[in-house]
Amino acid sequence: MSKYRDSCLIRGDGGRAIRGILDRVGDKWTLLVVATLDGERMRFTELQQRIPGISQRMLTRTVRHLERDGLVTRTAYPEVPPRVEYELTATGRTLIGPAVKLAEWAVDHNPGIERNQAAYDSRQP
């Protein structure tokens, strides 16, 4: 039995928990935010500047989800103007290793995947 199927059977939820987590970390921005926060505490604007293409709305939404999941902490300082900083929690830091492995896999396999896509597309009417 595969590790995935075994995990689903142990939990008894048919893979619901795994799908929920993959939905969160597999979206367009989550891993970029997590990787950007790796080892650093950052203000919102600095975080946004380091992630090309992310809108203020999407960054706000992403860090809120990560905070809700317990992967990021948000610290608001009672200053004028207000200052808010984000950093990974201990649980959030455990995501770095698997994220790096996934990124390495993507880099290693992307040329072959692109060749397969081109070959498939050339066979389509």
pLDDT single digits (tens) 7-23 = 666 566 767 777 788 88
What DSSP character marks residue 78?
-
The answer on pLDDT for 26 being more than 90 is no
From the options 3.10.20.30, 1.10.150.120, 3.40.50.2300, 1.10.10.10, give the CATH code of 28-123. 1.10.10.10
Q: 1 falls in which pLDDT band (50, 70, 90)?
A: low
Residues 32-58: tens digit of each pLDDT: 999 999 999 999 999 999 999 999 999
pTM of the full predicted structure?
0.78
Domain boundaries, the chain: 28-123
Q: β-strands 42-43, 72-77: how paired?
A: unpaired
Q: What is the mean pLDDT of residues 94-118?
A: 92
Distance CA 115, CA 87 (A): 39
Q: 83 by DSSP, 3-state: which?
A: strand
Q: How far is CA 40 from the centre of its chain?
A: 16
